[in-house]
Chains A and B, each alone.
Chain A
């Protein structure tokens, strides 16, 4: 698993997908174009201030609202390596898992990480490490089915390998 480390950018509860990618940018589905407008509904300077690998830290119900997959695509393509939040809205959660954007529920970490803290996430060890505050948090393991999706690199890769196995057996 790729190493995840970066600066934390912190947001409030109920960040919705209109804030992550406003509808005025939905007349395209090109991830690179979407990435230019990432967080434009809440933080217009977002894409200028972040560096590759940075981490978004949200509160409760992160990604609520519309089902637009443009939201996790914009975040992923903007170079964000992981989203940590207290809780996630369900469509955003499954969209992120499906497209291979690492996403972690941790009430404690989301509460305690401060803006611009340097945070490392080690998915294999199941740990979030706040290097600035020198504090570690255990991540609850994903359910078994979702682990398969994640290790396959997303839903379509999972289906593809399942189909290949099916053909090999047949």
Chain B
């Protein structure tokens, strides 16, 4: 029976030849993830269940990244629950600050999640790891508790949607723009309960960082998982990191899809999603002057090294508009170090940005850049819901790092070419 990559991975994890969409299955989990917001509930449920040991101490990953370094006493207590549990159960992959990073940047970087894996995480953006050719999805804390006890989870096998991109990317367009454009076309529930499989020559030409951005936001279309079948780029990324065996799956050419979309990248310019939903995406050039108070470059969507390289390209030799606060948040310690060593930090600091330790912080309105009433932010994060970054009367717009950097300089939402062409003009004058 022809199957999609998602169906093949799910079948392999119940020890069967095949699964069909809408089947209910109880599947074996390779990696389970929790953070300082979701794991405390899972730990409480695990303990009240009377469980004594976790299913596999090498396969449960605990990352205090949302409110760490601890933002207040209550957060400190949540983080302590993780730390105490990790010590008691000798959890291999517990990441204390100093090694901690934003989970969905950290796990791939550390080679913890691999192609062909079945991964669940008590965080909706767990779908990020689909970029590696894994089945990966967000679940809640009780689900996580159940996996911590049994190593298994129930699923309904999702129907698959195929999204094919062809053509070369326009200048300053990256994976973030492709996914914002897609969500704009299909809507925030356009892939509800389904699997989004991204394919086509454009995807093949993308680096891993862009692929992570795309799969990261599959949840913003309601999807169960986003997935990109592995290719040379994937394997190159994985081979230098993997410490265990993994399996590469591909969709059969005659696999069944519930829906198919085909997008031409020539039509896709840098995108901005207007509040209050990620589906409100428009080309930057379509927007009237939108003045901003804050720019955040970071998060599990766009906090990777290529994101900061893009931002630095724009910011080099410029100053952030005095009315704008620019917050840069490298997603992991390694990305932080690499950005520093490449000289990106000097560019950011000279421009007037602040650089934060890795944290989810402002993305969910936690800390490290919360908005007041009436304020407006442009962020490279993934959600622009009402009040997402602070006060209910504040606003969040979403974009890629290049647009975010350009906008920090101009003080309003701007296409990178506005800033780049002004550099060229300055150079001509002198």
Contact B38 A68 (CB under 8 A): yes
Beta-carbon contacts of A6-24 to B below 8 Å, as 1s and 0s?
A: 0000000010101100111
Contact B143 A14 (CB under 8 A): no
Residues of B within 8 A of A159 (CB): 49, 146, 149-150
B388 at the interface (CB under 8 A from A): yes
* A61-B142 contact, Cβ under 8 Å, with A29-B44, A69-B41, A145-B154: no
Chain A minimum-CB-distance residue to B22:
A143
Number of A-B residue pairs, CB cutoff 8 Å, is: 133
Chain B minimum-CB-distance residue to A100:
B142
* Complex A-B: 8 CB contacts under 8 Å: A16-B385, A18-B388, A19-B386, A27-B72, A65-B124, A69-B38, A149-B154, A154-B142
* A160-B49 contact, Cβ under 8 Å, with A29-B78, A68-B38: yes
Residues of B within 8 A of A94 (CB): 139-140, 143
Give the 9 A-B residue pairs with the shortest CB-CB distance, closest first.
A95-B140, A27-B74, A69-B140, A61-B189, A98-B142, A145-B24, A67-B124, A23-B364, A69-B141
Residues of A within 8 A of B40 (CB): 29
* A61-B143 contact, Cβ under 8 Å, with A27-B78, A28-B74, A66-B364: no
A123 at the interface (CB under 8 A from B): no
A60 at the interface (CB under 8 A from B): yes
B383 at the interface (CB under 8 A from A): yes
- In the complex the two chains form, what is the Cα distance from A144 to B24 in whole Å? 9
CB distance from B258 to the nearest CB of A (A): 15
B115 at the interface (CB under 8 A from A): no
Contact B222 A61 (CB under 8 A): yes
Which of B's residues lie within 8 Å of A, judged by CB?
24, 37-38, 40-41, 44-45, 49, 66-67, 71-72, 74-75, 78, 121-124, 126, 138-143, 145-146, 149-150, 154, 156, 188-189, 192-193, 222, 224, 277, 364-366, 383, 385-388, 392
* A90-B192 contact, Cβ under 8 Å, with A29-B40, A66-B124, A66-B364: yes
* A14-B140 contact, Cβ under 8 Å, with A23-B366, A29-B40, A91-B124: no
Choose one: B75, B138, B386; the contact of A41 (CB below 8 Å): B386
Which of B45, B193, B222 neighbours the largest number of chain A CB atoms within 10 Å of its CB? B222
- In the complex the two chains form, what is the Cα distance from A92 to B6 in whole Å? 22
- In the complex the two chains form, what is the Cα distance from A66 to B124 in whole Å? 5
Residues of A within 8 A of B149 (CB): 156, 159
A42 at the interface (CB under 8 A from B): yes
- In the complex the two chains form, what is the Cα distance from A65 to B364 in whole Å? 11
Contact A18 B385 (CB under 8 A): yes
Contact B24 A143 (CB under 8 A): yes
Residues of B within 8 A of A152 (CB): none
Q: How large is the interface on A (under 10, 10 to 19, 20 to 34, 35 or more residues)?
A: 35 or more
- In the complex the two chains form, what is the Cα distance from A163 to B75 in whole Å? 34
A4 at the interface (CB under 8 A from B): no
Contact B142 A95 (CB under 8 A): yes
Contact B388 A91 (CB under 8 A): no
- In the complex the two chains form, what is the Cα distance from A30 to B72 in whole Å? 16
A64 at the interface (CB under 8 A from B): yes
A26 at the interface (CB under 8 A from B): yes
* A89-B192 contact, Cβ under 8 Å, with A29-B40, A64-B222, A159-B150: yes
A99 at the interface (CB under 8 A from B): yes
CB distance from B194 to the nearest CB of A (A): 9
- In the complex the two chains form, what is the Cα distance from A73 to B40 in whole Å? 14
- In the complex the two chains form, what is the Cα distance from A29 to B66 in whole Å? 14
Beta-carbon contacts of A53-79 to B below 8 Å, as 1s and 0s?
A: 000000011001111111011000000
Given contact pairs A18-B388, A70-B37, A95-B139, a sample of 20 additional A-B residue pairs in the complex whose CB atoms are under 8 Å apart: A14-B277, A18-B385, A18-B386, A26-B66, A26-B67, A27-B78, A41-B386, A66-B364, A67-B121, A68-B37, A89-B222, A91-B139, A94-B139, A98-B142, A99-B140, A154-B142, A155-B146, A156-B45, A156-B49, A159-B49
